[in-house]
Structure 1
Amino acid sequence: MSLTAIPLEFEKYLQNQISVGDGPDMNEMIFAYIPDLDLAQPIDREQGLPDISLWVHQQDIDQVGKLGDNALVYSVVIPGSVASFTFNAIYLRDKNVPSSCGMVVHKVEETKEDGMTSTKSLMQQYNGAAQIAGINVDAATWQINYQARLFGIEDDMRLANLDNYGHTAFVDGFDITQQADPTKYAISAGIAYVGGLRAVLDAEVIQTINTKPNGLYLDVVRTGTVLSEWQNVVTVRLSEVELSDYVDANQQQHYVAKLAGINADGSITDWRVKGGLGEHEAASDPHPQYLKSQAHLSASDPHGQYLTRADWLKHMLFKGMPMSAVGPDPDPDIWLPAGRVELLRADYPTVFEIVSASALFTDQATIDADPRAYAGHWGTGDGATSFTTDDWALMMNIKVAGGYGAAGSTKEDHIQNITGTVGARDSVASATGAFEAVVWASDVDANAIGSGYGFNFDASRVARTDTYTDTMGIFLDHYRVIPKGVFSYA
């Protein structure tokens, strides 16, 4: 974690530089150690550089480049010959101008080790920075510092292990046996996860225990330097008082697990929390370190937002989804043959458990007496060993609910009602609905004697139609009625 700010004194410095025709010149980087630095508090922009007694290293800027039009990157390379120093604050300034601090960074404590070459870069951002400072060189990749990112990646891995294994999980080994010398105890090689760190004991360890009762603990810490390989250091510790996780004098986090209790008579009480991922997942409360509400712990289904296998099956059975067998290897307790089929309850225990508890589980004799009315229902079968599925072939309106009927009910298909009226008097014709009044010439029909009026019947005026629906009509001339389509003489 780090905080950054541009002090107010830089704004005054920038104005003065511009007023005399110069640009800002951040030419030095200062490293400091601020005692009791609180990263939870914002940087006070009223302050500039700290007291010189807090400075631990200062160095001229090695490279400056622009990052777009509004940001400048200042970089230094600290040689390996520079002695070790620890810092938690970095500053930019123009060393030739007092009160010219251009940037303040507060960060977690860091140590530049002996013999280590370190690169540090700061990005200063304000409107028009590149043009005002006269910088036209783009920042290059040497300015990237990967240390903080690597530490973050490692801690993510530790937290992932913590989620999978909990604080303590002895996966293998770490068996303890008393030796011929009653003060000697052997701890076998083994693997465990403690605090998310993988703890490996490569070889047997002999522990001398002169005072009893006592306790054995596993102490694991991840340590290393920038120039060395980081590793988890495993130590077996003896303590008469219970040990727990702690931070040492070097600010390194140690994770502690209980290994065994050595009783007054020399016997051993195994304290190991055993198990790998399978045992962890099966535990009733595998993460006691996380706060949980009592309601969550006591709930029969604390994660009801997730669809369970039974919920999915209920959806398939009662929401109109066919259950015919599909796939190369269908689950025999889920996929069902379509249509009214009698099945053995023992062969489909999950399906039977769900349907037998539903309102759609109906006496078989009732279904057989009116198969269409009860097409959406499941039957009791022989009443002991079997049951029957719903019948898709007879469902005209499949298990609908709402305005069309109750869940599980069926409806016959019906033609939509088609209505209309016609009227004719003298030379005036009128029509409504599916009828249309028209005037036809005598050549409309070979049997017509003269011109007249008539009516077209078109169902699409009031109902859904397709190409199979025929248009019908009646022609009335002055002397007789001539039918068309479905109409005929009465």
Structure 2
Amino acid sequence: MSASITLAGEGQIALKQSQKKPLVITKFIFANVPGLNPETPVDRAAGKPPAGQIVQVYDIPEENRGFVNPNQVVYSAQLGSDIGDWDFNWVGLEDADGLLFAVSYVPLQQKRKNIPPLQIGNNVTRNFLVAFDGAQALTGISIDASTWQHDFTVRLAGIDERERLSNRNLYGRAFFFSNSLIFEKVDSGYQINGGTAFVEGIRVAIAKSEAVTGVIPVGKIWLDVWLERRLNDRVAAWKVVFGEQADYTDAAGVRHYCVPLADFISSSNIVDLRDAEPVGGALVKYFASRTGDYPLLRARGTTKEDVDLGNLPNAKSDDPATNSSEILATTAALNKLQKQVDDSMTGMVAAFAMTAAPPGWLKCNGAAVSRTAYPRLFGWLGTHYGAGDGTTTFNLPDMRGLFPRGWDDGRGLDPGRAFGVYQDMMIHSHAHTASAAAVGDHLHAAWTDAQGNHVHRTWTDAQGAHNHSAPSSPGIGQGAGGLNSVQQSGGAHETSWAGAHAHNIGMDAAGHHAHNVGVGGGGAHTHGITVAAAGGTETRPRNLALFYCIKY
């Protein structure tokens, strides 16, 4: 709906302000303008409709003029049930000078006169709000508009539409409760079953089944639903129609919605086309405890072709050993499989990178545990690692601080070793290199033995005839001619040189013999030997400390 002050009205405001005269609005004009679209903007330049389109002129009483604030005033027309019958979609205000001041386009409205008992009339109240600067001062209106009874016709129509759209969001295009409004054959005729349905948000409620008369043509049967104006209210109305249908707007501007009810093939073959749900009570309770199907859910839409199974409910097995790609394992099968896995692992020792035993495992710390609490583990271990208290408990293996070693089991690398017994450390036989330290500087005595008494013969050869002359003077001296003189005791004599010569000396061999050599000891002493230590307090490879547990 659109409303606006006309161009002539704007000029009138300016004129009255310049003349310092009041602007007096005196009349409502109601008209039915053919083809008028209430959603289009008002043609502010247009004048009043032709006299043939004007259906009512209403003189505004003084008390029907009021102000909302200094810049807004409102005029009210109150049409009783003694006025009618006519329809209108155009409303205008006229001032005391006969000038069209403001116009409003509205959806086609009905005004009916009360004619008992044939017709109950309706009352119509129309309010026209005008806003411009200084409106209250220029019009001279002094009555507060809040004291009036305003026209809620348009507002109530808006409420109806909002409710319809809200229902449309909830129920969709069409929603039928169980067998409500089903088209069916009864005896020799046909009927629409009673019940409740929502069509485009309009609630259609039929208290009891109603007959469908006339010849039923082959083809689709439709339900035509609309909101019908009855007095001051609008109520749901419906009718059954045939052939191909679509939503439409009738000559009075009322919107109709058409949905299929059935496909009439023959009197014995009627196909229900309603979008129905098996709702027998409150909708919220139905959703909370639904036992039917949701057609669009994937589980509902899954077919045997999707999963390649011929009969999905029966294609299941409790046997975990079943080897088939077309059989689903049940929870019973999964539980059996879990038990098989647990049983096969009972007694297994494993290292964990944490300091607490995980679920299903116990610490390998030699502790005594209950035979009844861990029957499978006791069945495997027995009292091999200790009998506990001898009756109710047994001992776990103790792996703390130890390396695991595979049981020899006849291989011969660890011969004679019993299963599950402790073995202390040992070092493999091996050799070490050694060196001797020096004792310091010292001597050893040595000798040769005698080989018997013997002599060696010697001789000189002759050097020819010669003589030696001796001087007469005593002493030793050198005489003329190079002579040496020697003085001997007992008398002096002189010997003269016989000239330069030599005498060869010879020595005979004493025969073959040997000399024994002995070396004496250097005294009592020792040589020190040092072997360096290697390693710590035990023999071990590189390792990581982990936490050993046993599966029970």
TM-score by length of 2: 0.47
Displacement of 1:68: 0.9
Partner of 1:5: 4
- Pick from 242, 245, 250 the counterpart of residue 243 of structure 1: 245
Relative to structure 2, which stretch is displaced further, 257-266 or 119-128? Answer: 257-266
Structural mapping, 1:91-170, within 5 Å? 91-95=92-96, 97-98=97-98, 100-114=99-113, 115-170=121-176
Partner of 1:234: 238
Partner of 1:200: 205
Distance, in Å, in 1 between the alignment partners of 2:45 and 2:15 is 18
Deviations 1:286-343 (A, max 9, x none): xxxxxxxxxxxxxxxxxxxxxxxxxxxxxxxxxxxxxxxxxxxxxxxxxxxxxxxxxx
Cα root mean square deviation, aligned: 3.2
| Cα distance change on mapping 1:178 and 1:121 into 2, 3 Å | closer
Displacement of 1:265: 6.5
Q: Does the 8 Å CA contact 1:212/1:266 hold for their aligned counterparts?
A: no
Aligned residues: 291
Which amino acid in structure 2 is aligned with residue 249 of structure 1?
Answer: A
SS in 2 for 1:106: strand
Displacement of 1:6: 1.4
Gaps of 5+ in 1: 286-345, 347-364, 373-378, 384-490
Which amino acid in structure 2 is aligned with residue 194 of structure 1?
Answer: V
Which amino acid in structure 2 is aligned with residue 284 of structure 1?
Answer: L
Partner of 1:369: 353
1:41 aligns with 2:40: yes
SS in 2 for 1:191: strand
Displacement of 1:26: 1.0
Q: Does the 8 Å CA contact 1:80/1:117 hold for their aligned counterparts?
A: yes
Q: Does the 8 Å CA contact 1:200/1:234 hold for their aligned counterparts?
A: no
Deviations 1:249-291 (A, max 9, x none): 3332222222222224632222121115659994539xxxxxx
Q: Does the 8 Å CA contact 2:71/2:134 hold for their aligned counterparts?
A: yes
Displacement of 1:70: 0.8
SS in 1 for 2:100: coil
Q: Does the 8 Å CA contact 2:38/2:89 hold for their aligned counterparts?
A: no
Distance, in Å, in 2 between the alignment partners of 1:60 and 1:178 is 59
Query: Using CA pairs below 8 Å that are at least 6 residues apart, which structure has the higher relative contact order?
Result: 2
| Cα distance change on mapping 1:179 and 1:40 into 2, 3 Å | closer
Q: Does the 8 Å CA contact 2:2/2:41 hold for their aligned counterparts?
A: yes
SS in 1 for 2:157: helix
Distance, in Å, in 1 between the alignment partners of 2:24 and 2:60 is 10
- Pick from 173, 189, 195 the counterpart of residue 190 of structure 1: 195
- Pick from 269, 281, 296 the counterpart of residue 284 of structure 1: 296
Q: Which has the larger radius of gyration?
A: 2
Which amino acid in structure 1 is aligned with residue 276 of structure 2?
Answer: K
| Cα distance change on mapping 1:230 and 1:44 into 2, 3 Å | closer
| Cα distance change on mapping 1:105 and 1:207 into 2, 3 Å | closer
Distance, in Å, in 1 between the alignment partners of 2:108 and 2:293 is 38
Partner of 1:328: none
Gaps of 5+ in 2: 114-120, 298-330, 332-349, 362-552
| Cα distance change on mapping 1:371 and 1:251 into 2, 3 Å | farther
TM-score by length of 1: 0.53
| Cα distance change on mapping 1:371 and 1:40 into 2, 3 Å | farther
SS in 1 for 2:169: helix
SS in 1 for 2:34: coil
Report sequence identity in percent: 26
Structural mapping, 1:371-386, within 5 Å? none
SS in 1 for 2:25: coil
Q: Does the 8 Å CA contact 2:261/2:272 hold for their aligned counterparts?
A: yes
SS in 2 for 1:102: strand
| Cα distance change on mapping 1:206 and 1:138 into 2, 3 Å | closer
Deviations 1:436-479 (A, max 9, x none): xxxxxxxxxxxxxxxxxxxxxxxxxxxxxxxxxxxxxxxxxxxx
Displacement of 1:102: 2.0
Which amino acid in structure 2 is aligned with residue 369 of structure 1?
Answer: A
Distance, in Å, in 2 between the alignment partners of 1:204 and 1:226 is 26
Structural mapping, 1:68-467, within 5 Å? 68-95=69-96, 97-98=97-98, 100-114=99-113, 115-173=121-179, 174-181=181-188, 184-207=189-212, 210=215, 213-227=218-232, 230-237=234-241, 239=242, 241-264=243-266, 266-275=268-277, 278=287, 282=294, 284=296, 368-370=352-354
| Cα distance change on mapping 1:80 and 1:14 into 2, 3 Å | same
| Cα distance change on mapping 1:102 and 1:187 into 2, 3 Å | closer
Deviations 1:126-165 (A, max 9, x none): 1111112222221134341111111111222222221111
| Cα distance change on mapping 1:178 and 1:30 into 2, 3 Å | closer
| Cα distance change on mapping 1:283 and 1:22 into 2, 3 Å | farther
Which amino acid in structure 2 is aligned with residue 260 of structure 1?
Answer: A
SS in 2 for 1:43: coil
Distance, in Å, in 2 between the alignment partners of 1:86 and 1:74 is 21
Displacement of 1:40: 4.0
